[in-house]
Structure 1
Amino acid sequence: MDNSHFAVPVRVSTLPEMPIEEIYSVEQALDVLAEWPKGRQGKLYQAAFNACFGASVGVVSTEEACRAFAAFCRVSGIMAKDMMKPKKGAEQPRLM
Structure 2
Amino acid sequence: MDEKMTVKEILESYDEITVDQQIIDGVLFFTMFKKQFLFLAPSEDDPASKATIYLYNDELLDHPHIMLRDTSFSDIERFPKGTYRWICLYEQDS
TM-score calculated relative to the size of structure 1: 0.26
Question: Which structure is higher in helix share?
Answer: 1
Structure number with greater CO (CA < 8 Å, separation at least 6) is 1
